[in-house]
Amino acid sequence: MILLGPGQGGDSPMFAPLMQQLSVARVGPGRPRTRPDRVLGDKAYSSRGNRAILRSRSIRAVISEPADQKGHRRRRGQSGGRPPAFDAAVYRSRNTVERSFSDHKQWRGIATRYDKHALTYRGGVVLRAITLWLKT
């Protein structure tokens, strides 16, 4: 199954289906991993729903908290709860993924998403990944 949301939509609504289908093959024998140690995300993924999904699967979230959420929590005082855990050193490595997205979006068809069908779009993304791999 191909996960692809609307071109004008945000990434956060696709977080739950992505986590349900997550599968990372092991180097040796054994079934694939479905629960990573941690998930790194930007402020768009800092919703209660996304954090609840990660908490239910015992996955550590390394997601920075937006300023408005910090303000809402502080304004509620003690009933606002404590801030979510955040590992700044691990969060710095997130830029590797962002640079990868930037490399892929050098192709206009991927950046603007002209393709009508998800399978065609995915083919373009795979083709771009192959060309980037061959350059290295």
User: Tell me: the pLDDT tens digits for 54-100?
Assistant: 999 999 999 988 888 888 888 888 887 777 888 888 888 888 878 88
Query: For 20-41, what is the mean pLDDT?
Result: 89
Nearest to 21 by CA among 38, 6, 4, 40: 4
Distance of alpha carbon 11 from alpha carbon 114, whole angstroms = 18
Residue 104: per-residue pLDDT = 83
- Scan for tokens 């024998």, then name that residue: 29
Delimit the domains of the chain by residue range.
12-87
Distance of alpha carbon 62 from alpha carbon 91, whole angstroms = 6
Mean residue pLDDT of the chain comes to 84
Nearest to 64 by CA among 95, 33, 35, 85: 85
60 and 81 Cβ atoms separated by less than 8 Å? no
Residue 2: per-residue pLDDT = 58
User: 5 by DSSP, 3-state: which?
Assistant: coil
Q: Where are the alpha helices (DSSP H) in 6-117?
A: 15-21, 48-56, 67-75, 88-91, 95-104, 108-112
Count of all residues that appear for the chain in the document: 136
Residues near 87 by Cβ (< 8 Å), separated by ≥ 6? 38, 60, 62
Q: Indicate the helix (H) or strand (E) that contains 61.
A: strand 60-63
